[in-house]
């Protein structure tokens, strides 16, 4: 664990990635008197609109990344598909949080679930798939109810298939062009939840109340807090996050996606080594949002209080729904639009959060 000097107000945080998460991180940094520089390969990145400076470049271009980092006091990333080797390279000269180890562990679904199980935590049954024959075998072993996923580079349902037969399982593997995959047994869960937590450079830990999450077409549609989790389940979710963060020597905000079974038990689905869509409600319902919390951790500041002062319902604005922005703007609540020019199908264009008086702390 690094305990280097904290970045003072006026310092600069570098952000790898220029999507909406980077945009909201830059806005949170500005609130604290910190500057941000953003590096991304997309010249139309929405985070470019709100940062002090930006660089357009490939994440694999180590010379360009090094030149970018030279202007920063600390560096972070806003999505998990930044090459771990790039993060490790920057770490030779600059503080980077989270580190390359945590990023690399969570970039591979098989490695991630193996790591989670090594901590004594529970995940769905899973196995590596490197051939059509293995896809057929595991599909049968999991009682013909399973999900095939690529081990890397999948999000919002991309790189996933739900075969209905062994032949479909083999065909799905072939459709992924032979890249390493993972088969996960289908879980008959009651509902989905997540826990957003943070760990500081000094090992301090803070977790937000876990929201209940609802998905449509594999994309998060709505997060509700408080949800149906009991106090005991909420405490268990936070402890799961604490164990993961400690084992990874993690610094920054991260999310643990959970399946809540009908018997009340919690299964770890995925870890996201970054701020998370299901934590956007913290912008309105907490004094310190997940975005400010992440900046605090990366800059070496004390973590903020994650307590809620309101109940909240956050809904994503997807694709063409963003064209109805006037309807959202007329509703009581907080509208966030991400500055994306094209409202493509399935694309997260913004979110809307309604808050109400606190009913359960």
307-334 residue pLDDT tens: 999 999 999 999 999 999 999 999 999 9
Calculate mean pLDDT across residues 255-275: 97
User: In which band, very low, low, confident or very high, does the pLDDT at 4 lie, cut at 50, 70 and 90?
Assistant: confident
In this predicted structure, the answer to whether residue 255 has a pLDDT above a threshold of 70 is yes
CATH number belonging to the domain at 12-107, selected among 3.30.70.2340, 3.40.50.300, 2.170.190.11, 3.40.50.20: 3.40.50.20
- CATH fold of 191-357, please? D-amino Acid Aminotransferase; Chain A, domain 1 (3.30.470)
The pLDDT, as a whole number, for residue 218 is: 87
Instruction: Give the position of tokens 């006091």.
Output: 73
Least confident of 126-140, 154-168, 182-196: 154-168
In this predicted structure, the answer to whether residue 178 has a pLDDT above a threshold of 90 is no
User: In which band, very low, low, confident or very high, does the pLDDT at 361 lie, cut at 50, 70 and 90?
Assistant: low
CA distances from residue 353 to 64, 220, 283, 291 in whole angstroms, order as listed: 38, 14, 9, 16
Q: Where are the domains of the chain?
A: 12-107, 125-185, 191-357
Distance CA 175, CA 228 (A): 38
CATH number belonging to the domain at 125-185, selected among 1.20.1530.20, 3.30.1490.20, 3.30.530.20, 3.40.50.1100: 3.30.1490.20
Burial 132-142 (b: 16+ CB within 10 A, else e): bebbbbbbeeb
- pTM for this one? 0.96
Whether a cis peptide bond, with omega within 30° of 0, leads into 56 is no
Summary mean pLDDT of the chain: 95
Calculate mean pLDDT across residues 267-288: 98
φ/ψ of 317, rounded to 5, equals: -105, 110
Q: Could you read off the pLDDT of 43-97 as tens digits, one per residue?
A: 999 999 999 999 999 999 999 999 999 999 999 999 999 999 999 999 999 999 9
């Amino acid at each position: 664990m690094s305990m280097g000097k904290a970045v003072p107000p006026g310092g600069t945080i570098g952000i790898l990635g220029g999507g909406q998460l980077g945009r909201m991180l830059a806005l949170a940094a500005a609130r604290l008197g910190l500057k941000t520089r953003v590096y991304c390969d997309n010249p139309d990145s929405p985070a470019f609109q709100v940062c002090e400076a930006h660089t357009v470049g490939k994440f694999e271009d180590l010379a360009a990344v090094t030149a970018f980092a030279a202007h920063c006091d600390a560096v972070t990333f806003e999505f998990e598909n930044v090459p771990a080797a790039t993060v490790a390279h920057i770490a030779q000269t600059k503080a980077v949080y989270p580190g390359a180890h945590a990023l690399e562990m969570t970039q591979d679904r098989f490695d991630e679930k193996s790591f989670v199980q090594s901590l004594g935590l529970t995940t769905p049954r899973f196995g590596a798939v490197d051939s059509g024959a293995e896809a057929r075998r595991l599909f049968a072993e999991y009682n013909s109810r399973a999900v095939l996923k690529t081990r890397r580079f999948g999000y919002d349902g991309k790189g996933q298939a739900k075969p209905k037969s062994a032949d479909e399982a083999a065909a799905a593997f072939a459709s992924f062009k032979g890249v390493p995959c993972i088969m996960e047994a289908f879980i008959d869960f009651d509902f989905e939840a997540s826990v957003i937590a943070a760990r500081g450079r000094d090992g301090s830990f803070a977790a937000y109340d876990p929201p209940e999450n609802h998905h449509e077409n594999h994309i998060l549609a709505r997060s509700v807090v408080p949800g149906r989790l009991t106090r005991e389940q909420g405490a268990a979710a936070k402890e799961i996050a604490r164990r993961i963060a400690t084992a990874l020597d993690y610094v920054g905000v991260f999310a643990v996606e959970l399946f809540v079974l009908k018997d009340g038990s919690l299964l770890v689905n995925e870890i996201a080594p970054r701020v998370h869509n299901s934590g956007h409600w913290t912008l309105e319902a907490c004094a310190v949002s997940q975005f400010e919390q992440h900046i605090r951790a990366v800059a070496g500041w004390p973590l903020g209080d994650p307590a809620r002062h309101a109940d909240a319902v956050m809904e994503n604005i997807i694709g063409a729904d963003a064209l109805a922005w006037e309807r959202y703007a007329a509703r009581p609540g907080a509208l966030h639009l991400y500055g994306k020019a094209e409202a493509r199908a399935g694309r997260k264009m913004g979110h809307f959060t309604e808050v109400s008086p606190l009913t359960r702390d």
